[in-house]
Amino acid sequence: MSPIFEYLFEQYSAYQTDQIILEAIAVSFGLASALFSWRNSVWVYPTGIISTSIFVYLLWQWGLLGDLIIQGYYFIMSIYGWYIWTRKVSPDKNTPITLATANDHKTALLISAASLIGVFLVYTLFDKWNSWTAYVDTLTTALFFAGMWMLAKRKAANWLYLLAGNIISVPLYFYKGYTLSSLLYLIFIVISILGYRTWMKHLNSDQVIA
């Protein structure tokens, strides 16, 4: 077996087969969701709901409470975003892509602050401040909470928040031993950049849900 392959995936030797399969399925649907988001398609939400549901189950088994909170929030925001994206703002037009206003960024900041407080309380309650990764979890949670809210509101700036969280998550998940998820976040970095460029082009064009 290749030394590189062993280095990347040796941690999976200790996992149950069903967990590996479920993570692969969750990663696949997570990738599909990101691609649909890039293409400005409402299918970002049903595929995302499947992915987050599986991840919530796995993260509970693995005891990763910070990541579980993120995925649970994704699930809720996916339902909310699905409603927003399909809501008619006129007889023939759905909610359009728009630029984030100063108030939008203030709301995102409040959401981030609330998430930091929430994660702090959960980690303190369950005595999870036992690794430096717990502190990084609070940062990624804040970024992803703000980014997912922006995505649900169809604000182009969502990609910038998600990009920052994705960059941090690549080494974080690899260090935790979840190589498949780490590789997924690496792909998310590329999609975040492409998604931002695509959405900015949509601002002055006819915007249609695919």
pLDDT tens digits in sequence order for the chain, 210 residues long: 566 555 555 666 666 788 888 988 998 999 999 999 998 899 999 999 999 999 999 888 877 776 788 888 889 999 999 999 988 766 667 788 999 999 999 999 999 999 999 888 888 888 878 888 888 988 998 999 999 999 999 999 999 999 999 999 999 988 888 787 888 899 999 999 999 999 998 886 655 444
Burial class (CB in 10 A: 0-12, 13-18, 19+), 53: middle
Domain ranges of the chain: 15-202
Say whether 11 sits in a helix, a strand or coil: helix
The residues that bridge with 88 in the sheet, in sequence order, are: 94
CA nearest to 150, candidates 192, 118, 116, 181:
192
Q: What pLDDT, on a 0 to 100 scale, did the predictor assign at position 184?
A: 86
pTM listed for this prediction: 0.82
